[in-house]
Structure 1
Amino acid sequence: MTGGRAAPGRLVLGLALMLVAFNLRPALSTVGPLLGQIRETTGLSAAGAAALTTLPVICLGLACALVGWVIRRLGPDLGVLAGMVIVAAGLGLRGLGGLWPLFLGSALAAVGIGFANVLLPALVKRDFARSSGPMTGLYTMTLCLGAAAGAGAAVPVEHAVGGWPAALAVWALPALVAALAWAPYARRGGPARAPEAGRLLRDPLAWWVTAFMGLQSSLAYILFGWLPLLLQGRGLPALDAGLYASLVTLNQAPGALITATLAARARDQRRWVVGIPALTAAAFLVLAFGSETLRIPAACALGFGVGGCFGLALSLIVLRAADAASAAGLSAMAQGIGYFFASLGPLAFGLAHEATDGWGLAGLLFVGITAAAVVAGLPAGRARTVSAARRD
């Protein structure tokens, strides 16, 4: 990737970037609230539901492995546009109904999300180098708002349009809007040099950042896929469970913004690595197993914690990278490998629930993943940088 290029109309560019970010989670967060209806109408088993929540995360990781090719052939700016078009196509495919379009559309949308996921931190590093912390927080916050909109609106939209296929497909519209908004910027840069992956694969710091990204992502995808069903298991109607899930997701936005902005100002990020995951684990236990009167504050705290973990993970990618090319390489590594391992989280969570016909073992697994994220995040939070740029 090229570096040091000032983008014209930074405010408009930032708004277009936010529109892209808004569309990076509804494809994932809309499935959980509708999972009960999907299982009832299709006969999907609990294991099949676990596979449905796991498949997009695997595809996110696979897409990240292709980003180097995308950078070389298209350039980062056109790569983001291609990602948005693919997201819209995948979401539209899910509207055909049935299990095959659902699974294939989810996989396709995840590929598009993976492209944009990797490229956005590199573009922030390139175009907003002097304000990378606030910009990382802003686009992560917008991403969380998109996730919250998907989780909260899924059931009401399903009631309005008369079925889950149309309720899932309607999210193709904002993805198309984002593609149109980004189209003027897709012409800014042509194909560019891709980062050298081998340099990062030999760097321990890159692996610690990757581990933290994967472990904290696992927590988010567990909540996307299983929190509504867990709350329904506690006696909440589907609509109420979806609204609680939306409350969790909505509070990810301030968590991401505040954590990313403040953590970027610190000398290193190790205190944040301990505090934010600890808040996440405690809030999850209260929401899942605590008093009914504490559900609302626990949901807010859980959302703040999960959003903070995600904002912190993206901040570590930007802060630990020496330049824009290194940010692209570290982002591809952290999200590609990280999402592959993150996919095991919702799968293991679902299998633990099915094996015990309860949520105790699954809840213990969630806390264990949180503890592992702290262990990985401590060395990732130290004030060092990695370089992945090709040398002539």
Structure 2
Amino acid sequence: MTRERSALITATAFVVALSLRPALTAVGPVLPRIGQDLQLGEAAQGLLGTLPLLAFAVASPLVHLASRRFGMERAVFVSLLVLAASSALRPYTGQAGLWIGTAVVGAAIAVGNVLVPVIIKRDYSAHVSRATGVYTAFITGGAAVASILAVPIADAVDWRLSLAVWGGLAVLVAIVWLPRTLAPEPMPAPRTEDETPPVSVWRQPMAWLVTGFMGLQSTSFYLVVNWLPTIEITTGGVSERSTGVHLFVFQVFGLIGGLSIPFLLKHPTNQRAGLMTASTPILIALLGLLLAPHLAIVWAVIGGLGQGAGLVAALSLISIRGRGHHETTQLSGMAQAVGYALAASGPVLAGYLTQATGGWTVTLIVFATLAALQVTVGFVGGVDRRTPSTHQKPAPSGAAA
């Protein structure tokens, strides 16, 4: 295999990211239509937006078992096929099929969520934060396209096609990924003699800080993705089509934020500046939606910068804090299981509070408080105080770039 072809196949890890969010972000802009067509109230709509996150939480801790048995590349390939089938079928199988299909979509995406960052750490060990930034840029790009196309597709045909079409994207990505399943899977670097055997991640305080940061940034992201269109229509009088554009802007600036933050995450043990820089914009955006909802496009820009940077910071933190291949996989599973379980409460809680109080004021105050907590967790967890002997040796300068 030529060096150029090997590098191209390695880079397909980024292409997988394109398929990890459209099945989720296409829902928010057409959620009012789904609710009206299927007679779902705000709380039920919130639960529909939360269901994939619950599936993330359940499936993520189990992913490393499938990875060990079948290999990471093959596990990702199968998950792409399942994602394609469930995305295409869920809008056309009645209300029960919509709920079941959405849960299966979430479980399939969870495999990529857990394993692709681990693959990137393995393949780009000398440039983890930079490679993670590119990976999240692909995630954000796919999410942004789905957000802006959801309403036009629904207008042209119906909301069902606007959800189902993303199954085709998953098929294309699976085809691109297929060569990786046919080649022998690269072996992780052997543990060095002086490396301390890892303690279970569930017993590490630092792992819980990483998990908390992951959960809090995910909570605010899924609040915005699921409810920003409804918030803008209700509080700012924004048209449905414009809300789709605003959600697209949110995602595009997330891409910019994600590509900009890695230089603040380079230090081997101190990422405090990066975590706090990534966390502050979403707090500003939520307060802005509360106090000046007519400037929604401004808050979409600021919030997008924070969300893109926050996702890169969270995923980079998993890779940086993980010591060795297996511990990184377990930390990724833990952070995404517990983190997404926390995030899953977001859309449902938002729907419940809004329905109970008759408005968005209380909801936005609660979520702004959670965003402030994210800033705090970033400050505390941004410095790794573990003794040097527990860290892996730095990757050699000749590692893949």
Cα distance in 2 between the residues matched to 1:257 and 1:198:
33
Find out whether 1:101 has 2:97 as its counterpart. Answer: yes
Greater shift after overlay, 260-269 or 358-367?
260-269
Which residue of 240, 243, 256 corresponds with 2:242? 240
- 1:301, CA displacement in angstroms? 1.2
Q: Distance in 2 between matches of 1:387 and 1:47?
A: 45
Which residue does 1:358 correspond to in 2?
Answer: 359
CA distance in 1, matches of 2:199, 2:160: 42
Task: Report the alpha carbon displacement of residue 299 of structure 1 after superposing the two structures with TM.
Answer: 1.5
How far has the Cα of 1:183 moved from its partner? Answer: 0.8
Within 2, Cα distance between the matches of 1:197 and 1:26? Answer: 36
Further displaced range: 252-261 or 310-319: 252-261
CA distance in 2, matches of 1:197, 1:106: 36
How far off its partner does 1:266 sit? Answer: 7.2
Cα displacement (A) at 1:197: 9.6
Alignment correspondent of 1:211: 212
Deviations 1:197-242 (A, max 9, x none): 9711111111110111011111111111111111111211111111
Cα separation, 1, equivalents of 2:266 and 2:88: 38
Specify the alignment match of 1:299 in structure 2.
Answer: 300
Query: SS state of the match for residue 264, structure 1?
Result: coil
**1:42 aligned onto 2:38:** yes
Measure how far apart 1:289 and its partner are.
3.6
> In the TM superposition, what is the alpha-carbon distance from 1:379 to its structure 2 partner?
3.2
Aligned-partner residue type, residue 220 of structure 1: F
The equivalences for 1:254-273 within 5 A come to 254-265=256-267, 268-273=270-275
Aligned match of 2:117: 121
Identify the residue that residue 170 of structure 1 maps to in structure 2: 165
Distance in 1 between the 2:247 and 2:202 partners? 36
Amino acid at match of 2:175: L
Counterpart secondary structure, 1:44: coil
Aligned residues: 380
1:285 to 264, 281, 287: 287
Shift in alpha-carbon separation, 1:354–1:36, aligned structure 2, 3 A: same
> Which secondary structure state, in structure 2, belongs to the residue aligned with residue 322 of structure 1?
coil
Measured in 1, the distance between the counterparts of 2:18 and 2:342 equals: 24
Deviations 1:257-315 (A, max 9, x none): 211343235751112222322221112322454163x4333221110011111110001
Equivalent in the alignment of 1:144 = 140
Take 1:327 and 1:14, find their aligned partners in 2: how far apart are those partners? 19
Look up the match of 1:135. Answer: 131
TM-score, normalised via structure 2 length: 0.89
Residue ranges of structure 2 left out of the alignment (5+ in a row):
189-196, 393-401
**Residue 188 (structure 1) aligned with residue 183 (structure 2):** yes
Contact kept, 8 Å, 2:290 with 2:365, in 1: the verdict is no
The SS at the match of 2:270 is coil
The answer as to whether partners of 1:280 and 1:305 remain within 8 angstroms in 2 is yes
Which stretch of structure 1 is more off in the superposition, 109-118 or 183-192? 183-192
1:387–1:157 CA distance, 2 compared to 1 (3 A): farther
* Residue 317 of structure 2: aligned partner: 316
Q: Give the partner amino acid of 1:187.
A: L
- Structure 1 segment 381-392 matched on structure 2, within 5 A: 381-383=382-384
Contact 2:254–2:306 (CA under 8 A) maintained in structure 1 = yes
d(CA) in 2 for partners of 1:189, 1:381: 37
Q: Does structure 1 conserve the Cα–Cα contact (< 8 Å) formed by 2:289 and 2:364? A: no
SS at match of 1:304: helix
Distance in structure 1 (CA, Å) of the matches to 2:319 and 2:185: 22
Q: 1:9 to 1:320 in 2, by over 3 A?
A: farther
Q: What CA RMSD, in Å, does the superposition of the two structures yield over aligned residues?
A: 2.4
- C-alpha displacement of 1:384: 5.3
On the 8 A contact 2:77/2:177 being kept in 1, the answer is yes
- Aligned partners of 1:350, 1:8: CA distance in 2, in Å? 50
Which amino acid counterpart does residue 264 of structure 1 have in structure 2? K
| Partners of 2:333 and 2:4 in 1: CA distance | 26
**Letter aligned with residue 135 of structure 1:** A
Report the equivalent of 1:250.
252
1:4 maps to which residue? Answer: none
**Deviation at residue 329 of structure 1 after TM alignment:** 1.3
Deviates more, 1:144-153 or 1:183-192: 183-192
Percent identity between the two aligned chains:
32
CA contact (8 A) 1:33 1:238 kept: yes
* Number of the residue aligned with 1:3: none
Normalising to structure 1: TM-score of the pair? Answer: 0.91
